[in-house]
Amino acid sequence: MADSHGAALARLEPIFSPKSVAVVGATRVPGTVPFDIFQNILKDDFQGTIYPVSPSARAICGVKAYKYVLDIPDPIDLAVIVFPSSVVKLALEQCGQKGVKGLIIISAGFREVGAAGLQREAEIVEIARTYGMSFIGPNCLGVINTDPTVRLNASFARHMPAVGNIGFLSQSGALCTAVLDYAHAKHIGFSKFVSFGNKADLSDIDLMLALKDDPATKVILMYLEEMTQGAAFVEAARRVIHEAGKPVLVLKSGRTQQGASAAASHTGSLAASDEIVDAALKQAGVIRCTTIEEMFNNAIALTYQPLPKGRRVAIITNAGGPGVLTTDAAIHEKLELAQFSDATRDLFKRSLPVTANIKNPVDVIGDARADRYRVAMSAALEDDNVDGALVILTPQSMTDIDTIAHEVCTVAAAHDKPTYTSFMGETDVASGIAILQDHNIPHYLLPETMCRAFARAHDFGTERIRKISAPVQYADVDRAAAHALLDAAIATGRSYLTPSDAMKVLAAYCLPVLKSAIAQTAIDAAKVAVHVGFPVAMKVESDDVVHKFDVGAVVLDVNSAADASAAYDQILANVTAHLPNARIHGVFVQQMAGAGEETILGVKRDPAFGPVVMFGLGGLFVEVFRDVAFRIAPLPVEHVRAMMHEVRAFPMLTGARGRAHRDTAALEECIQRLSQLAVECPQIQELDINPLIIRDQGFGCAVTDARILVKRE
Amino acid sequence: MERSEIEKRVTSVVARVLSIDPAEVASSSNFVFDLGADSMKSIELIAGFEEEFSIEMDEDRARDVQTVDGAVDFITHYV
């Protein structure tokens, strides 16, 4: 479970910053995990004391070995367990007796191998709890802390990474080694590097919260394969971003349609698990990445440079073509080309060749040396109309690449606005790129990725200070009435509520259901229609008729008592003809909704994230284009608005191409009330309001049909 | 065969395969945790027991045996 504020870092203290480490199960055989981990701790200059524990070796790498951890005469803060899984519990028992507080369990052979492994995992969790020990793993690569006062490489990675401000947390150990190699080539350092494996005790959430309070970590990167505690993860990420102001970047694999295929409703089938993950991460302000490269492209921007305060960029280039490419990329990412002040333009005129382009992008011309870059960068970064500089270089014969790289670093360091670079090419620019990387100037192979990283950094700066209000709690709802209807459905073994009961549940939460009643006879239908008010819609009330239009069980625009009576008979005849065994409870008579735009609202209860609310425009937009947006309930109004605007067809509700302005304020209230209903009524598994008619501004919305699937235990 | 005889011969095999003094081998000793057997030594132990007692053991079940006592119990079923 996730820890409360500050507690996570305290639990991780003996693991991240131990004074003494025992490697339990170490061997003398090079090339094995037990040996390599011991050797890594030793050779990477751990600042504390290390003790090998081995039943058979007297010494490992010249360090005296102990048969049991209990034989070590000194206190032990951290034990790294490398024994085979079958005896890990014996090692843990002794660690507990020894008073060890932190463990890294490298050993595989637990939950990931099936039932027997799961049992072993439960046993080690129990032992750790008994003795008050916290552990990372099992089934992991290990932990690295680059802090010079600690220098712990308790892993079987090939190398200790450089010191940096990126905290990396990974569910995959193998990916960690690839990431370390990639980062090494790009001169990227880390603060903490953790492979958390099966997270049987300390979870990804605990680790994220620990890094929130870790002063050495500025940015948190995570590789996840599943999010079983989705709601808790979102809450923790939100705290990291809004309380500590640290960006969280997630690379999430394991996209699956499994959840969708098992779903029964529109919302259920549209809300595939990955779409929910996507919505949840967006809602938390997490930057979701699709590749390792994208993750580090964003991470270096966020770590190395100040956040852009706006979207206005100055492009400085020694080549016209790349300047245009960068301009296109910037506009694509919704950045703006800064309009330089008169003073800046004058300075450019005085300092740059007459052939130079002094508008944005600033072309300092192909023969530019470091002085021109210095003048252009300095003037641009000092201009109040500029929020950051994008510096391009292509290697001409006279281009002094290394000197320019040094000049870029110097100018960038003198300003509190971000500078990103793209020295285009490979071999000729390599030494210049290395200079930039060594001075923490973000470098990108392509202008497109540079612009994307600038935009993400700006988005994060906006997200970090975004104020989110508390979700509205409507006091006029009748929770008891909704519960009674839902509980009754469950008690009688129903999967779906009847249409009229579904409408009553929505009415209990003051969603704008149309006036309606059930008619039991043709004469009754005439009376009911008069009471409801013409025109009315009529449809069969039956659990057994799912696709009512297909069997002629719906009649619309009924305008008189006589027509209502006739429609009743017609509906019953049609249903009996198509589905002779259908159980019919009467005919549902409902007020017509009137003109408006059809939308769909829905709820799906996700096992990891809880109630998920969906919104989209109706008809083709949902069925063909899947143009829908999701958010996790409860929903503050800011998230409701973001969700509405995320739907590409939303402008159809706001007057696009001469269409009427619809009542989006009423829609906003509907979504908030639905969010409250979803949270307060856990009996609901899936819910569709389809369609919800959005009338013209000031005339509200109307729920014309709804289905509610209850949760069966 | 008497249990004490089996235990004596098991101890002898264990000491020989793991290159340790027989006095270090207790009946409760865990092959991995106490005596330092790695996966290859575990296979050698199984082979050593089969040769010593002229038996053929179910290898999957034999691999689950963790202690000297457990090995004696297991071998008792075969001799």
| pLDDT digit string, tens, across residues A594-606 | 889 899 999 999 9
Instruction: Please list the residue range(s) of chain A that carry CATH number 3.40.50.720.
Output: 7-217
**Per-residue pLDDT, A268:** 60
Which residues of chain B neighbour A54 with C-beta distances below 8 Å? 36
Which residues of chain B neighbour A83 with C-beta distances below 8 Å? 32-33
Residue A474: both structure tokens together: 């409507």
Q: Which of B18, B36, B39 is the closest to A54 by Cβ?
A: B36
Predicted complex ipTM: 0.88
Which residues of chain B neighbour A124 with C-beta distances below 8 Å? none
Smallest Cα–Cα separation from A422: which of A504, A490, A282, A327?
A327
Classify each residue of A298-319 as buried b or exposed e, where b means 16 or more C-beta atoms within 10 Å of its C-beta.
Answer: bbbbbbbbebbebbbbbbbbbb
- Does the domain spanning A515-592 belong to CATH 3.30.1490.20? yes
**Per-residue pLDDT, A392:** 97
CB A327 within 8 A of CB A314: no
Q: pLDDT digits over B40-61, tens only?
A: 899 999 999 999 999 999 988 9
pLDDT band at A256 (very low <50, low <70, confident <90, very high): low
pLDDT band at A302 (very low <50, low <70, confident <90, very high): very high
A272 pLDDT above the threshold of 70: no
Tell me which residue has tokens 């264990």: B14
A344 φ/ψ angles, rounded to the nearest 5 degrees:
-65, -45
Q: Which of B18, B20, B30 is the closest to A87 by Cβ?
A: B30
pLDDT band at A269 (very low <50, low <70, confident <90, very high): low
pLDDT band at A267 (very low <50, low <70, confident <90, very high): low
B20 CB within 8 Å of a chain A CB: yes
A404 φ/ψ angles, rounded to the nearest 5 degrees:
-65, -45
pLDDT band at A547 (very low <50, low <70, confident <90, very high): confident
Handedness of CA A31, A33, A35, A37 (dihedral sign): positive
Respond yes or no on whether the N-terminal peptide bond of residue A634 is cis (omega within 30° of 0).
yes
CA distance A265 to chain B (A): 48
In this structure, chain B runs to a length of: 79
Of A494 and A145, the one with more pLDDT: A145
A255 pLDDT above the threshold of 70: no
CB A318 within 8 A of CB A393: yes
CB A102 within 8 A of CB A15: yes
How far is A671 from A682, CA to CA, in rounded Å? 17
Q: Please report the DSSP string for A658-712 in residue order.
A: GPPBB-HHHHHHHHHHHHHHHHH-TTEEEEEEEEEEE-BTTS-EEE--EEEEEPP
**CA angle, corner A452, sides to A407 and A205, nearest 5?**
105
CB A60 within 8 A of CB A29: no
How far is A65 from A54, CA to CA, in rounded Å? 6
CATH T-level fold of A306-464: Rossmann fold (3.40.50)
Q: Does residue A104 sit in helix, strand or coil?
A: strand
Residue A428's identity, in one-letter code, is D
Residue A384's identity, in one-letter code, is D
CATH T-level fold of A7-217: Rossmann fold (3.40.50)
Please, what is the average pLDDT of chain B?
A: 93
Q: Which helix (H) or strand (E) segment is A314 a member of?
A: strand A312-317
Contact state of B34 with A91 under an 8 Å Cβ cutoff? no
Average pLDDT value for residue range A469-495: 95
Superfamily of domain covering B3-76: ACP-like (1.10.1200.10)
Please, what is the average pLDDT of chain A?
A: 92
Average pLDDT value for residue range A400-410: 97
**Per-residue pLDDT, A2:** 46
This prediction has a pTM of 0.88
Instruction: Please list the residue range(s) of chain A that carry CATH number 3.40.50.261.
Output: 306-464
Which residues of chain A neighbour B39 with C-beta distances below 8 Å? 84
How far is B72 from B79, CA to CA, in rounded Å? 10
Q: How many percent of chain A have pLDDT more than 90? A: 81
Q: pLDDT digits over A326-380, tens only?
A: 999 999 999 999 999 999 999 999 999 998 888 999 999 989 899 999 999 999 9
Q: pLDDT digits over A510-540, tens only?
A: 999 999 889 999 999 999 999 999 999 999 9
A263 pLDDT above the threshold of 60: no
Smallest Cα–Cα separation from A604: which of A615, A593, A614, A595?
A614
